[in-house]
A and B are shown apart, each in its own frame.
Chain A
Amino acid sequence: MSALASRQRYLPALVTGCLFAAMFVAGGIRYEGFASGQVILNVFVDNAFLLVVAVGMTFVILTGGIDLSVGSVVALSTMIAATLMSGPGWPPYVVIPLVLLIGSGLGLVMGYIIHAFDIQPFIVTLAGMFLARGLCYTIGTESVPIEDATFTAFAQTRIDLFAEMWISPSVIIAAVVVAVAAYVLHYTRLGRAVYATGGSEQSALLMGLPVGRTKIAVYTISGFCSALGGVLLSFYMLSGYGLHAVGMELDAIAAVVIGGTLLTGGSGLLLGTVLGVLVLGLIQTIISFEGTLSSWWTKIFIGLLLFVFIVLQRLFSSRSSR
């Protein structure tokens, strides 16, 4: 840990930040109308849900775990919200807390199983992924539109900033989540316990930190963030569908890793995750600006970028450990 102290700690996030800036400059030179503030804001608008999900994933990965269920929990949340609002006509202020509660509950159960029965997180959250996706299809196999007046009005609100730039309310929610999570991670006991558990579970135990409670807490946080991500996605899509957010767990993991958090746990910054999501979003923006590129190039680019990042990280971390 001492090797990663102070300056070293910010290095991976700094590299990601530089890459983001470089990509933005390159895009600005290549495409007309690219270099505007709204393009960056749109990246936030289009990826607010991914940002929230990735924040939850950061907590889990920092403890050295992994959560494969997030994409399915996002889909389940959109499905429950849409069905309850369109069928029995429940109001959004009842539905949204309920959805958040269900997501956190799922996370809590998974965290408990991982901690109490000592089963690998990969397998437990994989079962959680099947469960949540299965529940989606059990509720319905069709896409359910959301027509609730309050909900749609909120979803379509534009918050005007200066110079004709605007953001959606989802961006503000995501920003609040990021701020709260950053505070929790870097300035509270829970945050310290998260880093310590990921650094070395054995040492954390010997120091008397509540390792079990921390592990259960991070999966609950991740479940909550996924459910909130689901609510934001239903603002964005205005529908609930079992096939929403397929593979989002991989995007979230990729964003966290690109942001410089080590999968072994114990090292990483929340700021890095935000930059990771921005980089992923900017790749998609560039590909849509390019126009002629097929969608599969997106996948190949993201793969290549992951590769470059991991190799860079590897180089830095091996230098600092010497």
Chain B
Amino acid sequence: MRRLLWPLVILAALLAVNVLFTPGFFSIQVREGHLYGSLIDILRFGAPLILVALGMTLVIATGGIDLSVGSVVAISGALACLQISQDAGVFTAVVLALGLSVALGVWNGFLVANAGIQPIIATLILMVAGRGLAQLITDGQIITVNDPAFKLIGGGYLLTVPFGILLVLAVLAVTAFLTRRLALGMLIEAVGGNAEASRLAGIRARGIIVMVYAFAALCAGVAGLMISSNVSSADGNNAGLWIELDAILAVVIGGTSLAGGRFSLAGTVLGALIIQTLTTTIYSIGVPPETTLLFKALVVTVVCLLQSAAFREKVFKRRARTAGAQEVAA
């Protein structure tokens, strides 16, 4: 739990700032059978980021990184919208888009696990080419679709709750079950700790690596459907732009080390919520939109410094020593 302390403090601080500026910030109402409120908005708009970050967590846990998720978001949205605009039916469109996403993830995983290419470069290939691919699918245009069933994924409600939130909860529950109740999570951490040692211990490291990249791409594919469904259009150029950086940030803020070997799903969700709350806060306290990035840089720096053992040791010496002793004891 100690690892989640700082992210929780930051999130609480951000929410507190919001309450100061918007007194009714925590109120949640049911209007026309739909849940309304700032907190619901944070969850709803943060849903794609949480999904992408969940996939990224497992990739980072194996010591890798996936820069291509933003392009996969664009490709998935583009393919789905293209199919729907050609009267292919929502179900076919969704299956095709997610199928292509998984295939791209397997390609990434293959490059990393079998060809032995560094993850950052292996996924850089798809990051660069994927943007082009998404624009190729949409032919450089923005495809607009008008389909109520497709609209449900990113903009609709089910049982008064936004569908996107339910989708995230479902993916989170399945991921948490697979990685924390079954041995899968331990295998992933073993591969991240030392791929060669885990292979000698009888773990199929390559299979695990391909699987996590496929999972990350699948999450990105779902996020792509959400984003394009929310705005009822596909923009190959801008959909999911820089979401890979936000997702990596969310994972790191959540306390998962980029070195791999351990991960925290709860931390990632917290990290993604911090980033989304930050965006909301910037709007609600009236920071001019031009300085949004400055604000973000500031918060990211503070969070990362707080999480650095070296920084804590230099700044609050006594506390770091006791914490260090605890870590050794554990």
Q: Which of A235-265 contact B (CB under 8 A)?
A: 250, 253-254, 257, 263-264
Residues of B close to A263: CB separation below 8 A: 118, 120-121
Chain A residues with a Cβ under 8 A of chain B? 66, 113, 116-120, 122-124, 126-128, 130-131, 133-135, 137-138, 141, 250, 253-254, 257, 263-264, 294-300, 302-304, 306-307, 310-311, 314, 318
Interface residues on B, range: 35 or more
Known: A118-B310, A126-B248. A133 touches B293 (CB 8 A): yes
Assess the A123–B135 pair: CB atoms within 8 A: no
B118 CB → nearest A CB, Å:
5
Assess the A310–B291 pair: CB atoms within 8 A: no
A197 CB → nearest B CB, Å:
18
Known: A116-B310, A123-B258. A253 touches B296 (CB 8 A): no
Assess the B304–A124 pair: CB atoms within 8 A: yes
Task: Give the tally of cross-chain contacts (CB within 8 A).
Answer: 129
Could you name 16 residue pairs across A and B whose Cβ atoms are closer than 8 Å?
A118-B309, A119-B305, A123-B258, A123-B304, A128-B297, A134-B290, A137-B292, A253-B124, A296-B133, A296-B236, A298-B132, A299-B129, A299-B131, A299-B135, A306-B125, A311-B115
Mark contacts of B39-53 with chain A using CB atoms, 8 A cut-off: 1 yes-contact digit, 0 otherwise: 000000000000000
Interface majority SS on A: helix, strand, loop or mixed?
helix
Residues of A close to B132: CB separation below 8 A: 296-300, 303
Given A131-B294, A299-B129, A303-B128, 5 further pairs, Cβ under 8 A: A124-B304, A138-B291, A295-B135, A299-B128, A306-B124
Chain B residues with a Cβ under 8 A of chain A? 65, 115-118, 120-122, 124-133, 135-136, 140, 236, 245, 248-249, 252, 258-259, 290-298, 300-301, 304-305, 308-311, 314
Assess the A303–B125 pair: CB atoms within 8 A: yes
B183 CB → nearest A CB, Å:
28
A82 CB → nearest B CB, Å:
16
Distance A126 CA – B246 CA, assembled complex (angstroms): 10
Assess the B129–A302 pair: CB atoms within 8 A: yes
B59 CB → nearest A CB, Å:
14
Q: Residue on A with the closest CB to B122? A: A310
Distance A97 CA – B283 CA, assembled complex (angstroms): 37
Residues of B close to A310: CB separation below 8 A: 117, 121-122, 125
B189 CB → nearest A CB, Å:
18
Assess the B249–A123 pair: CB atoms within 8 A: yes
Q: Residue on A with the closest CB to B309? A: A118
A-B interface, 10 closest residue pairs, ranked by CB to CB distance from nearest = A303-B129, A134-B293, A299-B132, A134-B294, A131-B297, A296-B135, A130-B297, A300-B132, A296-B132, A137-B290
Residues of B close to A318: CB separation below 8 A: 116
Distance A282 CA – B293 CA, assembled complex (angstroms): 34
Contact of B136 among A66, A122, A296 (CB under 8 A): A296
Residues of B close to A302: CB separation below 8 A: 128-129
Residues of B close to A130: CB separation below 8 A: 293-294, 296-297, 300
Assess the B131–A127 pair: CB atoms within 8 A: no
Distance A141 CA – B290 CA, assembled complex (angstroms): 7
Distance A45 CA – B80 CA, assembled complex (angstroms): 42
Assess the A134–B310 pair: CB atoms within 8 A: no
A34 CB → nearest B CB, Å:
23
Residues of B close to A66: CB separation below 8 A: 120
B255 CB → nearest A CB, Å:
13
B308 CB → nearest A CB, Å:
4
Known: A123-B249, A264-B118. A134 touches B300 (CB 8 A): no
Residues of A close to B298: CB separation below 8 A: 131
Assess the B297–A127 pair: CB atoms within 8 A: yes
Contact of B305 among A117, A296, A299 (CB under 8 A): A117
Assess the B129–A117 pair: CB atoms within 8 A: no
Distance A149 CA – B308 CA, assembled complex (angstroms): 49
Assess the A314–B124 pair: CB atoms within 8 A: no
Assess the A294–B291 pair: CB atoms within 8 A: no
Assess the B290–A296 pair: CB atoms within 8 A: no
Distance A257 CA – B67 CA, assembled complex (angstroms): 16
Residues of A close to B259: CB separation below 8 A: 120
